Structure 1
């Protein structure tokens, strides 16, 4: 019942917000220099969403799990690519759960209320110039100095990197470990710390409403309280949370596919050619039928994965299948929908053009689809 009420409130909130395309256009021109604070986070606060966060941390963690794992925000607000400026979904569905699941009571009290209010933007820094999908290739390292840590290294392609107030940084803390996976830790690095440098804002093909940046760490002194979770357990935390990230990508992909289909259906129903609307041409009707079928089947699979995730029964292979399949679908739907728009689909003023370029990154981040296939295949052939 509570879940249905929450979904209903979010639908109402989404419907009352300013239309996504104009807001996205403003963010695109500014390179993502819009914060989460107003109006989005304030409106969420006004309808009582913030009240799901309890001072009882067991209840709090369960609230975070239910709220974000159900993917209610992405399903209703991410259909048009991250129109709220910073990576809303990454901030809420990826960064906050790390702190909720592995943070100390002090870390939770320090960051979560501000992050919930949109006054503290979160990011997570995994990718490096020489380490993308292979997290065991991380070179950024932190060395003990008394009770403190000294952090050095660099990260790239970091969503919310430029506007971030706190970044979860993946770093090597034991170079003598029997494998890289046994020597990685996570740290909470705050904006303004000496030696923490924000580099270029990267100019991307799509997702222009998000800021994406390089980050550098030059002898950043971190207190012991900056360690997130246990020392040398970071890789295991990443493996626990990555299925949710991949499921989030799948949810965004299928929601974007639904959005593109609806935009295209409405367009062909009013666009005229050869004395009739394009929607009355048989080849167009057949293409619409194909798209609708593929999207509905994918929606059913992704929703089943979300249910498994809620029950804590989603495995890595299923999350990988969802991410791989839905992101490939998003790109094929984008291609066909631009084609059905004809020349206007190539014009930047049409949402379908933006959706087309935004789709391209989906098979790349969160682990490339080639890596997803490796994970799926490994699960198929391993002895059980």
Structure 2
């Protein structure tokens, strides 16, 4: 009897290198943080990062994004290490993509394409799948000249294609037709969602917002005692989840929304605006911040800019600084000697920081450790009750 063979059927992790350009005024630690986030995106997509290349420039090269010498350095490494994928931390123009592919002869992705790929893998509902597909096609359309698409033919038969029509012209026409179809489908889904929202009655609506991976879904599970999918990956939540929450005798609706991120592809923002209607129509926003992240202040700015784009910047907002169990103050982060470490940061310490004074009302919690959750619930109860009694003064629910 012959020796039994075993085959590894697990999907092979693609090996990637990252490329970033540091622009004038950008600090080295800022560049590193941006590329660390890009590495997290690659890991979320299922890849593994082998190396990182950066170049300080006045502005990205119009033809190849980085300089000729840096591109040759990347090419040498990619060939020697048999790298599968090169990811750039900015959106590349069609000509840049074409030129870089010609030189490196491996798969090239930019930040936008990578985020779209993650969204495509995460989409669960018909709405999310439609939104992602629409964004992908809008991204692909101007880049058709660099690839043979082999799109599935939706229509066939005699007379369906013009005489002498090229492959690219045919693909472009089909993509435009599909984009039109997807936009119509989204309009229909939006109308259905609008009807659902109207049917929710007179309950006050609270929306969780924040940068991706700050713990919104964990907070949702904690407050609503439900099981919303949560994991330590970017964009774990794509579809807006709405749950009814009751604190004491007061019910309200709580929604968990897709996380924001810097340089979110424009097409994706446009396509997901309907999903973010929960944010626009909310009575109260709960802005969740990962206080343990070294650049949480930049993340706050990104979220505020996105809220401004959505027309929701001026809504009544509670700042919730999450993950206090993992927070290390900047001055302690610099300490090397373990013996020098100070006492753990207390809630009283946090309440005396600029975070508390500049973001009132602000709450400091750990959603995973259930720390200071009661204070958050009390604040939410008070705000929801104020709106409810103003809007429905004769409602006997609260009295």
TM-score norm. by structure 1 comes to 0.23
Larger radius of gyration: 2
Q: TM-score, normalised by structure 2?
A: 0.22
Q: Identify which of structures 1 and 2 has the higher relative contact order when contacts are C-alpha pairs closer than 8 Å and 6+ apart.
A: 1
Higher helix share: 1
